[in-house]
Amino acid sequence: KEDEFEKSFKEIISTLPKSNGWGVSKDLCQYQGFWLHPNFLRGVVAAQQRFQAQPTDIILCSVPKAGTTWLKSLTFATISRTSFDDSTTPLLSNMPHEIVPFMELHHAQFFTNKDRGIPLLSTHIPYPSLPRSVIDSGCKLVYICRDPKDSFVSMYHFIARNLTSRKVQPLGLDEAFELFCEGQCFYGPYWDHVLGYWKASLEHPDKILFLKYEEMRGDTVVYVKKLAEFINYPFSSEEQENGVPEKIVKMCSFEKLSNLEVNKTGVYGELGTGFVENKTYFRKGEVGDWKNCLTPEMAARLDQITMQKLSGSGLSL
């Protein structure tokens, strides 16, 4: 069966348009309108063919570098709060991506944390490419996005740091920026990814919660309460009086998570793409860090593309 899958996958991939792989892979491949790393693409195709969502699943969806790691920790801590507290949570010794696996990276297993009794997993798959069963099951999706200027800068640094530690020369900033503007980045075009989930969230507000990194940074407690309610794990008044949401926010804060030993020195194995140092998922965690990296001209160009792409959608980033 695996052989058959590999054969059909090779056929699919051979027909796809290719673009610059940012030094991470030879190429990115354009599949159903989005640019994917070949190993992630394998997972996307496998998920489309095999993934069986359950109505009780909760799937955390995101465009890369929008706050996936943070959303995973907040959601996991919220769901598991009756089993663990901030001195026993698995978040203390596991990096959030180990606790909440990626659907397309763990395609061979499709385990959804059922061993912990928690049907929680994540994906970067664009909305139109989600496996049919995700839509049909009616399970809950939570999406997070971010100002594309900060996401681009975050992605640029993430790749540069990981490639440098593998002794591979990373792309220059200008070249990476050009590719990002053209939409030729991981799971890009960025704007199309965001718009897919945005439109779906307007159509199905009970099934898709649409979050923005910046708003969550502004008042995380409010959004954690909203998140808890949406996924059917609302905080009781007693929990609220006892400051449980605040404790979860503190546990999952950038300061706390980035200073844990596991996140300072551990590595995370992304299937097929090699190991990534956990600390590269925790860089600065700031809103507006693009100012330290992009020229005003570059920022204006990205803002212009964002305005154009989102115009008429009711969404601003």
Q: Which residues bind ligand A3P (CB under 6 A)?
A: 62, 64-70, 150, 154, 157, 252-254, 257, 281-285, 289
Angle at 308 between CA 305 and CA 314, to 5 degrees: 120
Q: Which of 251, 277, 243, 234 is nearest to 88 (CA)?
A: 251
**Residue 18: strand, helix, or coil:** strand
Say how far apart CA 177 and CA 156 lie, in whole Å: 8
Query: In the complex, what is the shortest distance from the CB of residue 1 to ligand A3P, in angstroms, rounded to a whole number?
Result: 32
Is residue 86 within 8 Å of 251, Cβ to Cβ? yes
Say how far apart CA 285 and CA 150 lie, in whole Å: 10
Query: In the complex, what is the shortest distance from the CB of residue 277 to ligand A3P, in angstroms, rounded to a whole number?
Result: 13
DSSP H or E segment with residue 75: helix 68-79
Residue 13 or 293 with smaller CB distance to ligand A3P:
293
Residue 55 or 218 with smaller CB distance to ligand A3P:
218
Taking CA atoms, 134 is separated from 112, 138, 313, in Å, by 13, 7, 24
Residue 48 or 278 with smaller CB distance to ligand A3P:
278
**Residue 274: strand, helix, or coil:** strand
User: CA torsion sign, 192 to 195 to 199 to 205?
Assistant: positive
Residue 66 or 179 with smaller CB distance to ligand A3P:
66
Query: In the complex, what is the shortest distance from the CB of residue 232 to ligand A3P, in angstroms, rounded to a whole number?
Result: 24
Query: In the complex, what is the shortest distance from the CB of residue 154 to ligand A3P, in angstroms, rounded to a whole number?
Result: 3
Query: In the complex, what is the shortest distance from the CB of residue 9 to ligand A3P, in angstroms, rounded to a whole number?
Result: 26
Query: In the complex, what is the shortest distance from the CB of residue 62 to ligand A3P, in angstroms, rounded to a whole number?
Result: 6
Other Cβ atoms closer than 10 A to 173: 17
Catalytic, 124? Answer yes
**Residue 259: strand, helix, or coil:** coil
Residue 164 or 232 with smaller CB distance to ligand A3P:
164
Residue 67 or 189 with smaller CB distance to ligand A3P:
67
Residue of 37, 97, 124, 193 marked catalytic: 124
Helix runs in 173-295, H state only:
173-181, 190-203, 213-218, 220-230, 237-241, 244-251, 254-258, 261-265
Which sequence positions are flagged as catalytic?
A: 124
